[in-house]
């Protein structure tokens, strides 16, 4: 929003200077973005008189003019304007002046061998209007005494550009800004006694608002002004618009722009003679077209609010008018419109059509619905004053009546929220200055919110208004307490970050990807969930919310493998989505491993990563988080994106509460379809939301591990068990023998076939036995071997394989 201090003074009675204004604007929440002196350099443009014209000796269409610019020396200026003639008073720009429109700096120049000292300017070149056919013609009576004087009066008032937040539509008019300044003590708001239209002439053009679903126009005010003579705007009006960077067009258009900027009331003037059988405000039909005032053709969708007549669309309500009913200099009768349009409809329509106008900018934020009549009165009387004509009675059509919002306000709330106190008397004065109507009740104030403040909805908004006007600097600054007695993280947050560190400590690199993904990848991992499409995706290949983090991880795993990273483990912790409604999402830790283990190691033979690697990572992470592995229950029911024979799911106890994790090889068909180039690909998912918080405190990842200085011994055992017995059952049986001596248990073979009875299988394990106190002798090892065999046989029904 651009304003000047001079314009503000039309509404604000103050003795303070502009430098204080800039400070106060920011204090009341109206941020000053920039300050610019528009009159800088314009004082060089002078009122001048053409004394004589001669035909240019070397050009048929050019003239050499002798120009009086108020100096002793007459200036020779070459000019191509057809209206350049003896006696014409115009505007002269000397060498050194910068033309406002083209930003060209003038110099003394030879034009077809004749030296020209400066130029004579058209209104278009000076941004005074679109007139470019000839040089500016100034009225002789008014300007003959001002030859040599600056045409643009030097103004001490700068152009101030304000950043108005979307919740303050009232400050998109100069009066709204003046009201805030007056309430803050910067001056007194002038009581402008606006004249009202007094007419007995009836408005003859019928206006109808169709009552239909999603009708965006609730009120449409209008008045007919007949026998007008559209002309150029008077100097005071041109100066107002030019002072904020607007270009004058014609008196009627300039007046509607002036009223919009002055009191934030957008208006539109139609050529009444071009309207066929009255106006109908309705929803558009798909495929309707019209040419707007920006000379572009727009094709409309269903449900857009249009102003129409019997022939079709005249304009888009609250956004832009059409060329078919636009006013011209020869317009004789006009219909002046002042209406209210719903912000939501304006936003939707302008976005679909990619249209941005001053009216749209205001309506989408919320115009004062009770300013319809004020806008018509102010504009119509100005049109009559400048263009003549007769004004009809104001006609206002409504399909609904808005009610002013009422708030019960407890004055004690202010101190509770802000930490400082102001008197009730001061509260009443601030609110009254801002336009609130107040009724005192016993325990509270009953406040009627002014119609121009759609953002005031509840008590806390009143507190914000009071502290904004009274001054944010009154809020006491309290340094934060440096001593922290309690943890700032909840147990759930601690678990989240612990799992992050626990997975990273196992050699996984953390990835951070979008919560949305490519449907081509997501289809492989959505299992039985529905695809959740994004209505307005940031790109075509990120069009759905992810049902599994695998859909993103496998995409980036493939890219890294293609770049030569053969053995890689990555993970991510974040949300997955099961539906489009709030709450239909889960937090998951998801990891992928590809390639081989110990590829470059000379100590251990390399091998493909397998299901037991990710199973170990999942179990170890949960144990580190404080969960009892003795109670874990694991079975083989997994989603369809895992290998059906090389995967598992994990519960925290045998009661099969909620699924805590899945782990296993990624299904070979998916690897083939994605064409991911690796020897092996395994993954896991831990569902954080299904983890009941552990009773034990989270263990520190920096746990010290004891390293024994004594000889270790490795023993291999092969057991024949029933097929339903799992390898984990054997591992649990072995680990229960003596945890101080048994340091590692590894399954290295599972066999079914020749020499193995039907419905049975052979499971071979390697057990590392090591003491931290002594070197074990043969007798010690023999006792442990026997204990292992006995424990496995008793707990699983196994028999040692001979």
Predicted confidence band of residue 359 (pLDDT cuts 50, 70, 90)? very high
Which of 474, 437, 470 lies closest to 453, judged by CA? 437
* φ, ψ for residue 223, nearest 5 deg: -150, 150
Which CATH number do you get for residue 526? Answer: 3.30.930.10
Count CB atoms within 10 A of the CB of residue 522.
23
- Whether 675 and 727 map to the same domain: the answer is no
- Residue 582, judged by CB atoms within 10 A of its CB (0-12, 13-18, 19+), counts as exposed
And the tokens for 567?
A: 């053995």
> Cα(205)–Cα(309) distance, rounded to whole angstroms?
11
Provide mean pLDDT across the span 401-421. 90
pLDDT one-digit tens code per residue, 672-698? 999 998 989 999 999 999 988 776 656
Instruction: Establish how many alpha carbons lie within 13 A of residue 474's alpha carbon, considering only the half-sphere containing its beta carbon.
Output: 16
Q: Which of 114, 146, 178 is the last residue of a domain?
A: 146
154 lies in some domain: no
Count CB atoms within 10 A of the CB of residue 789.
18
Q: Long-range contacts: 546-549, Cβ < 8 Å, 24+?
A: 546/514, 546/515, 546/516, 546/517, 546/522, 546/576, 546/577, 547/522, 547/576, 547/577, 547/578, 548/522, 548/576, 548/588, 548/590, 548/641, 548/685, 549/513, 549/574, 549/576, 549/588, 549/590, 549/685
- Whether 368 and 220 map to the same domain: the answer is yes
Predicted confidence band of residue 702 (pLDDT cuts 50, 70, 90)? very low
Contact 396/203 with Cβ under 8 angstroms? no
Q: Which of 146, 173, 199 is the last residue of a domain?
A: 146
**Domain of 19, in residue numbers:** 2-32+164-189
316 lies in some domain: yes
pLDDT one-digit tens code per residue, 163-208? 999 999 999 999 999 999 999 999 999 988 888 988 889 988 999 9
β-strand 217-226 against 334-341: which pairing, if any? antiparallel
- Whether 358 and 415 map to the same domain: the answer is no
Provide mean pLDDT across the span 77-101. 91
Outline where DSSP puts E strands in 365-422: 390-391, 395-398, 406-409
Instruction: Establish how many alpha carbons lie within 13 A of residue 461's alpha carbon, considering only the half-sphere containing its beta carbon.
Output: 15
Contact 548/647 with Cβ under 8 angstroms? no
* φ, ψ for residue 161, nearest 5 deg: -100, 120
Provide mean pLDDT across the span 117-141. 85
Which CATH number do you get for residue 760? Answer: 3.30.70.380
Q: What residues contact residue 200 under an 8 Å CB cut-off, 6+ apart?
A: 393
Predicted confidence band of residue 700 (pLDDT cuts 50, 70, 90)? very low
Residue with tokens 């994605």: 674
683 lies in some domain: yes
Which whole-number Å values give the CA distances from 542 to 415, 525, 671, in the listed order? Answer: 49, 15, 21
CA 792-794-796 angle, to 5 degrees, is: 60
Q: What is the pLDDT of residue 39?
A: 62
Helix (H, G, I), strand (E, B) or coil at 586: strand
Which of 588, 578, 572, 511 lies closest to 544, judged by CA? 578
> What domain count does the chain have?
6
Under DSSP, the state recorded for 605 is -
Bridge partners (DSSP) listed for residue 142: none
Provide mean pLDDT across the span 231-249. 85
Which CATH number do you get for residue 60? Answer: 2.40.50.140
Run of H or E including 445: strand 445-448
Contact 764/718 with Cβ under 8 angstroms? yes
Contact 680/596 with Cβ under 8 angstroms? yes
> Cα(315)–Cα(327) distance, rounded to whole angstroms?
13
And the tokens for 510?
A: 């953390």
CA 317-323-329 angle, to 5 degrees, is: 115
Which of 684, 647, 686, 677 lies closest to 567, judged by CA? 677
708 lies in some domain: no
Q: What is the pLDDT of residue 156?
A: 59
> Cα(772)–Cα(705) distance, rounded to whole angstroms?
12
Q: What is the pLDDT of residue 701?
A: 42
Q: What angle, rounded to 10 degrees, do the helices at 424-433 and 459-470 form?
A: 90
Residue with tokens 């606006």: 194
Helix (H, G, I), strand (E, B) or coil at 708: coil
And the tokens for 435?
A: 């336009």
Cα dihedral 247, 250, 254, 256 sign: negative
Q: What is the pLDDT of residue 360?
A: 92
Contact 12/249 with Cβ under 8 angstroms? no
- Whether 428 and 371 map to the same domain: the answer is no
CA 236-242-248 angle, to 5 degrees, is: 80
Predicted confidence band of residue 375 (pLDDT cuts 50, 70, 90)? very high
Predicted confidence band of residue 656 (pLDDT cuts 50, 70, 90)? low
Residue, of 582 and 703, whose pLDDT is higher: 582
Provide mean pLDDT across the span 621-648. 90
Count CB atoms within 10 A of the CB of residue 353.
19
Helix (H, G, I), strand (E, B) or coil at 480: coil
Which of 273, 267, 272, 318 lies closest to 292, judged by CA? 318
Mean pLDDT, the chain, rounded, equals: 89
Helix (H, G, I), strand (E, B) or coil at 38: coil
And the tokens for 724?
A: 């339903």
And the tokens for 708?
A: 């024994």
Contact 646/747 with Cβ under 8 angstroms? no
Q: What is the pLDDT of residue 600?
A: 72
> Cα(331)–Cα(274) distance, rounded to whole angstroms?
10
- Whether 214 and 94 map to the same domain: the answer is no
Contact 706/728 with Cβ under 8 angstroms? no
And the tokens for 99?
A: 């033309």
pLDDT one-digit tens code per residue, 761-784? 999 999 999 888 888 898 989 999
- Whether 260 and 320 map to the same domain: the answer is yes
Residue with tokens 């066929």: 276
Instruction: Establish how many alpha carbons lie within 13 A of residue 725's alpha carbon, considering only the half-sphere containing its beta carbon.
Output: 24
Provide mean pLDDT across the span 612-630. 90
Sequence length of the chain is 802
464 lies in some domain: yes
62 lies in some domain: yes
**Per-position DSSP letters for 653-695, written without gaps between them:** STT--SEEEEEEEEPHHHHHHHT---S-EEEEEEEGGG-PPPS
Which CATH number do you get for residue 177? Answer: 3.30.56.10
And the tokens for 269?
A: 């003037």
Residue, of 704 and 742, whose pLDDT is higher: 742
Bridge partners (DSSP) listed for residue 334: 225, 271
Q: What residues contact residue 104 under an 8 Å CB cut-off, 6+ apart?
A: 98
- Whether 521 and 661 map to the same domain: the answer is yes
> Cα(605)–Cα(506) distance, rounded to whole angstroms?
20
> Cα(616)–Cα(624) distance, rounded to whole angstroms?
12
Rg of the chain (C-alpha set): 41
- Whether 181 and 224 map to the same domain: the answer is no
696 lies in some domain: no
Which CATH number do you get for residue 312? Answer: 3.50.40.10
> Cα(670)–Cα(524) distance, rounded to whole angstroms?
7
- pTM for the model: 0.60
136 lies in some domain: yes
Run of H or E including 165: none
- Does residue 12 surpass a pLDDT of 80? yes
Q: Where are the alpha helices (DSSP H) in 408-458?
A: 412-418, 424-433
- Whether 552 and 599 map to the same domain: the answer is yes
Which of 384, 291, 368 lies closest to 336, judged by CA? 384
- Whether 644 and 575 map to the same domain: the answer is yes
- Whether 574 and 635 map to the same domain: the answer is yes
- Whether 506 and 372 map to the same domain: the answer is no
Residue with tokens 């036995």: 769
Q: What is the pLDDT of residue 739?
A: 77
β-strand 207-209 against 279-283: which pairing, if any? parallel
* φ, ψ for residue 630, nearest 5 deg: -65, -25
Q: What residues contact residue 777 under an 8 Å CB cut-off, 6+ apart?
A: none
pLDDT one-digit tens code per residue, 515-566? 999 999 999 999 888 899 998 888 888 999 999 999 999 999 999 999 988 8
Contact 595/606 with Cβ under 8 angstroms? no
Percent with pLDDT over 90 in the chain: 57
CA 317-322-327 angle, to 5 degrees, is: 110
């Amino acid at each position: 929003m651009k304003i000047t201090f001079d314009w503000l003074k039309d509404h604000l009675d103050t003795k303070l200077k502009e430098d204080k204004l800039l400070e106060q604007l920011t204090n009341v929440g109206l941020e000053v973005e920039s300050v610019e002196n528009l009159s800088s350099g314009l004082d060089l443009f002078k009122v001048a008189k053409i004394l004589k014209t001669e035909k240019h000796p070397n050009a048929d269409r050019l003239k050499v003019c002798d120009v009086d610019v108020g100096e002793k020396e007459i200036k020779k200026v070459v000019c191509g304007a057809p209206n350049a003639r003896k006696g014409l008073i115009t505007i002269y720009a000397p060498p050194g002046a910068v033309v406002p429109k083209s930003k060209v700096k003038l110099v003394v120049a030879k034009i077809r061998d004749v030296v020209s000292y400066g130029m004579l300017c058209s209104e278009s070149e000076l941004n005074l209007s679109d007139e470019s056919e000839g040089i500016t013609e100034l009225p002789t009576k008014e300007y003959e005494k001002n030859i040599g004087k600056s045409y643009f009066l030097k103004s001490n008032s700068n152009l101030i550009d304000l950043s108005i937040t979307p919740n303050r539509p009232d400050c998109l008019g100069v009066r709204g800004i003046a009201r805030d300044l007056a309430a803050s003590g910067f001056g007194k708001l002038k009581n402008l006694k606006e004249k009202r239209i007094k007419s007995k002439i009836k408005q003859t053009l019928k206006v109808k608002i169709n009552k239909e679903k999603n009708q965006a126009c609730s009120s449409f005010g209008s008045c007919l002004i007949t026998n007008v003579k559209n002309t150029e705007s008077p100097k005071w009006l041109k100066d107002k618009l030019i002072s904020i960077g607007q270009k004058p067009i014609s008196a009627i258009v300039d007046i509607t722009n002036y009223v919009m900027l002055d009191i934030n009331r957008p208006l539109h003037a139609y050529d009444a003679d071009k309207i066929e059988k009255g106006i109908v405000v309705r929803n558009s039909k798909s495929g309707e077209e019209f040419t707007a005032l920006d000379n572009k053709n727009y094709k409309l969708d269903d449900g857009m609010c249009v102003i129409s007549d019997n022939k079709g669309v005249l304009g888009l309500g609250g956004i832009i008018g059409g060329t078919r009913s636009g006013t011209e200099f020869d317009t004789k009768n006009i219909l002046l419109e002042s209406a209210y349009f719903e912000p939501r409809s304006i936003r939707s329509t302008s976005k679909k059509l990619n249209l941005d106008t001053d009216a749209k900018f205001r309506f989408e934020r919320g115009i004062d619905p009770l300013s319809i009549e004020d806008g018509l009165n102010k504009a119509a009387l100005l049109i009559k004053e400048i263009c003549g004509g007769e004004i009809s009675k104001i006609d206002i059509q409504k399909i609904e009546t808005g009610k002013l919002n009422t708030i019960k306000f407890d004055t004690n709330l202010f101190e509770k929220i802000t930490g400082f106190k102001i008197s009730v008397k001061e509260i009443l004065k601030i609110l009254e200055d801002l336009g609130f109507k107040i009724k005192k009740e016993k325990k509270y104030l009953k406040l009627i919110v002014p119609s121009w403040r759609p953002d005031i909805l509840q008590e806390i908004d009143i507190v914000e208004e009071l502290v904004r006007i009274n001054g944010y600097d009154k809020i006491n600054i309290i340094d934060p307490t440096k001593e922290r007695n309690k943890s700032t993280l909840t147990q759930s947050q601690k678990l989240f970050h612990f799992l992050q560190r626990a997975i990273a400590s196992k050699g996984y690199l953390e990835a951070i990807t979008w919560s949305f993904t490519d449907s081509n990848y997501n289809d492989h991992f959505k299992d039985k969930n529905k695809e959740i499409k994004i209505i307005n995706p940031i790109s075509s290949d990120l069009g759905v919310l992810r049902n599994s983090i695998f859909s993103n991880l496998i995409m980036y795993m493939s890219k890294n493998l293609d770049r030569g990273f053969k053995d890689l483990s990555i993970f991510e912790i974040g949300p997955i989505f099961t539906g489009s409604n709030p709450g239909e999402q889960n937090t998951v830790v998801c990891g992928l491993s590809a390639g081989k283990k110990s590829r470059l190691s000379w100590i251990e033979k390399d091998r493909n990563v397998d299901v037991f690697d990710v199973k170990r990572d999942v179990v170890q992470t949960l144990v580190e988080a404080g969960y009892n592995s003795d109670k874990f229950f694991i079975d083989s029911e997994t989603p369809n994106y895992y290998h059906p024979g090389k995967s598992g799911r994990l519960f925290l106890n045998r009661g099969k509460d909620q699924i805590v994790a899945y782990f296993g090889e990624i299904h070979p068909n998916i690897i083939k379809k994605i064409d991911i180039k690796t020897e092996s690909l395994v993954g896991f998912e831990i569902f954080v939301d299904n983890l009941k918080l552990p009773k034990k405190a989270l263990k520190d990842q920096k746990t010290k591990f004891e390293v024994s200085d004594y000889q270790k011994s490795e023993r291999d055992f092969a057991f024949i068990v029933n097929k339903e017995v799992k390898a984990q059952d054997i591992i649990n049986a072995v680990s229960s023998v003596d945890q101080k001596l048994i340091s590692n248990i590894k399954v290295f073979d599972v066999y079914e076939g020749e020499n193995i009875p039907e419905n049975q299988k052979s499971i071979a394990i390697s057990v590392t036995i090591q003491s931290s106190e002594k070197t074990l002798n043969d007798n010690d090892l023999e006792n442990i071997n026997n204990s292992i065999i006995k424990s496995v046989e008793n707990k699983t029904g196994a028999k040692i394989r001979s």
